[in-house]
Amino acid sequence: MMMKLLARAVSFVILASAVVLMSNCGGKDPAPIPQQVQLGKLSKTWNIVSVSLDGANRTGDFTNFKLTISGTFNANANNGNGPYNFSVTGARPTPSPWPASGTWSFVNIGTGDSGSLIRNDGVPMVYTINSSGQLTISDLICTSCDHAGAAGRTEAVNGNWTFVFN
């Protein structure tokens, strides 16, 4: 009789230990939302490779141009769409399609590493990160960009810009 009670007590302790052990096995963290994943991929300093305006090469106007994208993901900021930060350094024409700094927000996340963005000045952009990690910002369409001054010469900067970065 004593052995039966002892066996049951040991069985109960083993079962209780297993339940406690299993209850402490937390589930996986929730999967990050696409904006969080894309912000992680976009957040860095990008170095210019090439620039075109309406298909014409304008790379020479952007010597040592760098685009820095940054920000801390905030799921509560416009459902994770932002705004997030950017700044530029290096040469840029006057006027320029890029202000020295500002904010941007996700508009739409496409499939893979692409999507639509909008800057705080209302300029839309499309981004794509290719398989080799190169960032292309295209369809950056200026209709009245006059960043870096020289208003009145906006015809030299207005149009459809494409920037390729490493």
Q: Is 96 helix (H, G, I), strand (E, B) or coil?
A: strand
- What pLDDT shows up at residue 89? 97
Which tens digits make up the pLDDT trace of 16-67? 455 444 455 556 767 888 999 999 999 999 999 999 999 999 999 999 999 9
pTM to 2 decimal places: 0.77
pLDDT tens sequence across 114-160: 999 999 999 999 999 999 999 999 999 987 776 654 444 445 788 99
pLDDT of residue 32: 84
Encode 80-104: b = buried (16+ Cβ within 10 Å), e = exposed. bbbbbbbebeeebbebbbbbeebeb
